[in-house]
Structure 1
């Protein structure tokens, strides 16, 4: 199932005009605050009726201005995951989950509660009430409630924004499982680059109410022209496979025939992973560096050099089929004579890649 979204709407001093496709998996609406992400979610949810456009999936039409069609919010069969879990405080976890089932149409395929409970790891929480849960546990229950409503589409509006880093790290693996195991599209709002790199199947980059790029996550993130959060948050996603673990707390990953030493990952050797590498953490050299503390030195080829409006430049680099970005100054780009086709060395400190920037590769084809 693929959701097609195309609409235009004006507010006082701001207008939105977007068109994109959200296939099965997680489609992330990615951009700064004020880019139009929540406006899109409101339009899909039925909380906003756009001036014109169409939001539909084949014969399931939520809005079509040309045909005068409009499905009220309560009939849209959406699962909504908010920033705060919004659980019923007087009900147990089991009862909160059952509430989602209660609202599922009788004709809709029923999700198995035991499967959802197992997927989210909340079996030991079923008898508790929300007041006795951590923030991460509450969000897992909220995810389960949304899934058990048998939705045709799931909306997640910055569901991790209210959590601390430890709770985010706890929840992200469950969104990875949802991406791989849930058959309906998931529209996910975020402005956290590492989070997006871990879970996204598709990315829709937004700026000032417009789509600036859309497509598979790896393609969008490695494009030097696409910086939804600004150059300081730019980076790229590399696909790798766990090779081995070491006693000093590091793991070796293989990517396109090259080795990467990173903080120890929990996955077993052979597991395919995604690694988010920030552009500002990549240094470049024209000769292989010697006697330095950085453990990762990759022989790469310059694909593109894009000069910024200020003193910086974004450099797209390739090794094999993998792409990474490096953020350098214009002066460095000139001094190193960086140009497409130039062979250079990319230097990356192992500790630059945080554990929460490493996630499992989608099991579905992207």
Structure 2
């Protein structure tokens, strides 16, 4: 992929109590999650990209040099849109007028997204005549995202847009964000500390800690690494892209085929054969056997090969990376189990997967 199809950023700056040192080479499409614990520098990075945080560095977006060692475009010249936690809708304007506020200020020849497209992507048509005060939190955030998109930005920045919403509002808005991801050609940088949001939405991930990038790459590959500092999290695991191959109404299960095998998981009403889905398999839900064990309750048994072992990632615990075909899985085992099974790279084994869930 050429530089004209990438987002490249290099910032090295010091603040009163904080230092940011990042070197990014990101895809120019899809959603890139900027992920890490609170205070790691996610929002500071986004503000540097937006030009809201004065800093020295270099930034190129889809071939345009927004910032160099000798020149930096001011905020108003950077063709981006920024969605904050706070929607900041104009309370005296209807939803339609809020949405069209930025759109009408974009020259006609520069408009790349139509209001009708945004209404469709974000399900806004029933809300157009309503006032912001009468909207739920999730509805207000959808309007804020739509307003940002209608400025036809070359880059969309989203700073924890769901963090102020209750759990039901988050669940309501996520399908709209998925539709936007699948339809939109604008690259999105999405700041979050929620592994559930990242698992469901992101194509690419940047992991940050103490102002530095500790890992970056395609979501599936990066989450399956054993050498990044987030491997000890309770929800460490892998994300798989698959397709619903079968729905079993009798047992309320569905079979999802992925590159290398298939998995059974609990059926959800909206699933149907042929549908593309993402599933999550947590390392804590994977055990290993040297031989196939059919006389037990676990339904998901997969032949695999040990790829890598990270020993003693914490006292008494090891993390094992395995391959089912070319698809990676992670298993968190006691170091004693690793020793007793004599696990080593290249060894054929059987995965026993206790739980599989949709990434939602």
Is TM more than 0.5 here? yes
Alignment of 1:1-366 (within 5 A): 1-22=5-26, 23-50=28-55, 52-57=56-61, 60-64=64-68, 66-67=69-70, 69-228=71-230, 230-247=232-249, 248-265=251-268, 266-307=270-311, 308-349=313-354, 352-355=355-358, 357=359
State the distance in 1 between where 2:10 and 2:16 align. Answer: 20
Shift, 1:107, TM fit: 4.6
Shift, 1:148, TM fit: 0.3
State the distance in 1 between where 2:53 and 2:231 align. Answer: 25
Shift, 1:48, TM fit: 0.7
State the distance in 1 between where 2:156 and 2:273 align. Answer: 33
Shift, 1:30, TM fit: 1.6
Shift, 1:327, TM fit: 1.2
Shift, 1:114, TM fit: 0.7
Q: Which runs of 4+ in 1 moved over 6 A?
A: none
State the distance in 1 between where 2:62 and 2:346 align. Answer: 45
Q: Pairwise CA RMSD of aligned residues? A: 2.0
Shift, 1:59, TM fit: 5.5
Residue 217 of structure 2 aligns to a residue whose secondary structure is: strand
- With normalisation by structure 2, the TM-score equals 0.91
State the distance in 2 between where 1:183 and 1:257 align. Answer: 30
- The answer as to whether partners of 1:227 and 1:233 remain within 8 angstroms in 2 is no
Name the stretch that deviates more: 320-329 or 106-115.
Answer: 106-115
Residue 176 of structure 1 aligns to a residue whose secondary structure is: helix
State the distance in 1 between where 2:342 and 2:233 align. Answer: 21
Name the stretch that deviates more: 313-322 or 7-16.
Answer: 7-16
State the distance in 2 between where 1:37 and 1:103 align. Answer: 30
Shift, 1:42, TM fit: 0.8
Residue 231 of structure 1 aligns to a residue whose secondary structure is: coil
Q: Residues 228 and 12 from structure 1, CA distance in 2 versus in 1: closer, same or farther, beyond 3 angstroms?
A: farther
Residue 101 of structure 2 aligns to a residue whose secondary structure is: helix
Structure 2 runs not aligned, ≥5 long: none
Q: What whole-Å deviation, never above 9, does each CA across 1:204-225 have from its counterpart, x for those lacking one? A: 1222222222221111111111
Q: Residues 56 and 258 from structure 1, CA distance in 2 versus in 1: closer, same or farther, beyond 3 angstroms?
A: closer
- With normalisation by structure 1, the TM-score equals 0.90
Shift, 1:149, TM fit: 1.0
State the distance in 1 between where 2:295 and 2:45 align. Answer: 51
Name the stretch that deviates more: 231-240 or 111-120.
Answer: 231-240
- The answer as to whether partners of 1:304 and 1:339 remain within 8 angstroms in 2 is yes
